[in-house]
Each structure stands twice: as structure tokens, then as C-alpha cells.
Amino acid sequence: MEAHFSPSVLIANIVLMGMLGVITIAIIRMRSLFAIVMLSGVYSLVSAAWFQAMDAVDVSFTEAAVGAGVSTTLILAAMLLTVRTAKPSKPISKRWGPLVVVIATGAVLLYASTDLPSFGAADSPANSHVGKAYIDETPHDVGTPNIVTAVLASYRGFDTFGETVVVFAAGVAVILLIGFGERARAASDWRGKDEEQGENFSDDSHLILRVVSKFLIPLIAIFAFYVHFHGEYSPGGGFQAGVIFAVAVMLYAMIFGLRAAMKAFPPVWARVGAAIGVAIYGLTGVVCMINGGDFLDYDYIFGPPTGEVHGHHNWPQITGIIGVEVGVVVAVACVMITAFYAFAGRVPEIRDEDW
């Protein structure tokens, strides 16, 4: 059975794909790293809109938060450590080999994709077996209106735990490679200026930006908590909420200075919080095992089940999901903040002309 789309949806998909192609070509041709980073953020926003048009709302939310939000901010922090423009290192004539390899690989992948089911086909394995089982059983087994939350936090909770550990390991790798933010900051003197000379913006500049941000940053943080605690009913969850909260801290650092951000949210909080977040997730599963169930079997989170509890009042499942989501939001937010401190902390002073 082939998937059918309305003309408006088809036109929207074509327009969005065309915009992605134009942005890709612009990124390839540009040499200004700042412009490339900004266009990469635009690319992520357009991708999020495309996912939204394809009814992948949770994926769209994640792409907007990660791709256009935290990734852009982290790359900007890393960009301060290098030059602002990029020049070709090899003549164009010496690049034909890699180009041929890329084209050949792409052709093979496109040919192989002809054997895949059509997008959205009702008779595909994902839609006829796995997806149908999740849709039919989630109201009875878990009771959360958002099926994506039930799949990620309950049915596939162990996989999500592994993904959380991977995020934590990535943060540890960043620290091992470039050090802690405040330590690298104290040792970084490549500009030959004293750290006390100032931060980011002077007191009398960008007044409007500072005033507006004082209203905007708290709203971003509150929205992060909303996304987290409302994830079982609407798109979002711990991962998106953690990224949004981290962006609030990063925005504060970029406007008011890194030193002010480190005073408001000390780096030691971020490092300890990353480990605590993973521990919260893991201990939720351990509690289930202590009570006689399997790892992350939320039916045992309050003890052995005394009766059949299903539907929207399945409190053991809901409590377990909220518990692991708390671990995810703490781990993700603290890892992202730690990585930002590590990159931005290597620059003793951020000035307007750096961009």
C-alpha cells in the first residue's frame, strides 16, 4: 500500500527540501565561519519545519532544540578559539578523488533505497507490526497520551538509559581533551590581556539586549521545566528540556559574560549534576529490581503489584517515567553546560569584534 499526501503537504515538502538544498550550497561556498554557523542553525530550523510537516513532531522538537539551539551555541564558543575564515588547503584539481568516492557512495545508497518501503506505507514492517503494537498497547500498559514518551521511557527505557550514558561519556571526553572551563580560562593568555579587563560587553553597551534578556532567559528556563513535566502529554521530554535549560545558561554567559554565568551556575554544579542525572536514571531501575521486578520495570517501583492497574491512573508507570526523565534532564543540561564552559573558558575575554 502506497502512502498518499495531500497536494498542500507535497508542495510544503518540496519547498522545504528546496530551501535545504539552497542553504547547503550556500554553506559549501562560504568561507566565513560565523556565517556558516548561522546558516547551519537556519538549516536545522528548516529541517525541524520539514519534520513537522511530516508529522514527526517530537523529532522536529529535538532538531530545533539541539541543531538550532545548543549546537549553534557550542560551535560559536569553539569558533572563538580559531580563525574566522577558512581557505582551501588543496587546489580543486586534487579533490576529484574524494568527490568521485562521495558520488559513487551516494549512488549506491540511492539504489539500495529503492528496496525500502515507501515513506508512510501502511504495510511496512514498522507500521504493520511494531508501530501498531505500540499504538494499541500504550493506553493499556503505560497510560501516557504521548506514545513517543511511552516508547522511549518505558518500552525502550534501557536504550534511553544507554543514550543518556553516551551523552555523559561525551561530556567526560570533552573535559579530558580540553580541560575544565575555569582551569582553561585561567591558563588561557593567548591574547596577552588580564582577565580582569572585562567580559563580553561593556556596562554601557548593548543595554537593550541586556534588559530584554533578563526577561527572556527566565522564560526559557521555565519553558524547559514545562517541556519536561508535560512530556507525557505533549511533544518533548527530558532530553529536549535539558538542552533548552542549557541554552538559557549559555545565552546568559554570552550576554553577561562567562564569569557571571559561572557564578550563577558554578561549573562544579554542572560536573556533579551530570553524574547525578545518570545515577538517578540508573537507581530508578535498581529500585524496581529491589522490589522484585526487572531493571526499569516501573510496575514494581512501589513494590510488587497488588492488582492490575492500567490506563491513565497507572501511577507506577507514570512515576517511573517521571523519575528517569528527571535523570535525563539533569544529565543532558549539565553535560551541555560543562561542554560550553570548557570551550568558552579557554577565551579570557569575549568581545564584539571576535564575531
Higher pLDDT, 95 or 271: 271
- Give the model confidence (pLDDT) of 7-49 as tens digits: 777 888 889 989 999 999 999 888 888 888 899 999 999 999 9
Please say which residue of 116, 151, 168 terminates a domain: 116
- Specify if 201 maps to a domain: no
Per-residue confidence (pLDDT) for residue 346, from 0 to 100: 72
Per-residue confidence (pLDDT) for residue 190, from 0 to 100: 37
What is the rounded distance in angstroms from the CA atom of residue 256 to the CA atom of residue 199? 7
Total number of domains constituting the chain:
2
- Specify if 130 maps to a domain: no
Per-residue confidence (pLDDT) for residue 193, from 0 to 100: 43
- Give the model confidence (pLDDT) of 170-179 as tens digits: 999 988 888 7
* Predicted confidence band of residue 135 (pLDDT cuts 50, 70, 90): confident
What CATH number is given to the structural domain containing 89?
Answer: 1.20.120.1200
Task: Enter the C-alpha cell of residue 46.
Answer: 528548516
Per-residue confidence (pLDDT) for residue 353, from 0 to 100: 56
Give 5-25 as a DSSP string: --HHHHHHHHHHHHHHHHHHH
- Give the model confidence (pLDDT) of 232-284 as tens digits: 778 888 888 999 999 999 989 888 888 888 889 998 999 999 999 999 999 99
Averaged pLDDT, 57-75? 86
- Specify if 132 maps to a domain: no
Q: Do 338 and 303 reside in the same domain of the chain? A: yes
Averaged pLDDT, 324-350? 85
* C-beta separation of 334 from 271 below 8 A: yes
- Specify if 10 maps to a domain: yes
Q: Do 44 and 165 reside in the same domain of the chain? A: no
Task: Enter the C-alpha cell of residue 312.
Answer: 491513565
Residue 94 corresponds to which amino acid?
K
Q: Do 68 and 176 reside in the same domain of the chain? A: no
Domain extent, residue 69, equals: 1-116
b/e burial code for range 160-196 (CB count within 10 A of at least 16 → b): bbeebeebbeebeebbeebbbbbbbbeebeeeeeeee
Q: Do 278 and 233 reside in the same domain of the chain? A: yes
What is the rounded distance in angstroms from the CA atom of residue 351 to the CA atom of residue 349? 6
Per-residue confidence (pLDDT) for residue 188, from 0 to 100: 41
Averaged pLDDT, 58-63? 87
Q: Do 155 and 213 reside in the same domain of the chain? A: yes
Q: Do 56 and 176 reside in the same domain of the chain? A: no
* Predicted confidence band of residue 201 (pLDDT cuts 50, 70, 90): very low
- Specify if 225 maps to a domain: yes
Q: Do 292 and 340 reside in the same domain of the chain? A: yes
- Give the model confidence (pLDDT) of 150-175 as tens digits: 888 888 889 999 999 999 999 999 88
Q: Do 51 and 151 reside in the same domain of the chain? A: no
Least confident span in 18-27, 89-98, 277-286, 296-305: 89-98
* CA terminus-to-terminus distance, the chain: 52
Please say which residue of 84, 116, 148 terminates a domain: 116
Per-residue confidence (pLDDT) for residue 205, from 0 to 100: 55
Largest CA distance in the chain: 73
Most confident range (mean pLDDT) of 120-124, 192-196, 203-207 is 120-124
Q: Do 32 and 65 reside in the same domain of the chain? A: yes
Per-residue confidence (pLDDT) for residue 123, from 0 to 100: 76
pLDDT at 65 over 70: yes
pLDDT at 66 over 60: yes
Task: Enter the C-alpha cell of residue 94.
Answer: 586534487
Please say which residue of 50, 85, 116 terminates a domain: 116
- Specify if 8 maps to a domain: yes
* C-beta separation of 160 from 296 below 8 A: no
Higher pLDDT, 36 or 119: 36
Per-residue confidence (pLDDT) for residue 272, from 0 to 100: 93
* Predicted confidence band of residue 87 (pLDDT cuts 50, 70, 90): low
What is the rounded distance in angstroms from the CA atom of residue 328 to the CA atom of residue 196? 37
Q: Do 317 and 170 reside in the same domain of the chain? A: yes
What is the rounded distance in angstroms from the CA atom of residue 47 to the CA atom of residue 29? 20
Least confident span in 93-102, 209-218, 244-253, 325-334: 93-102
pLDDT at 86 over 80: no
Averaged pLDDT, 171-198? 59
Note if the pTM is more than 0.85: no
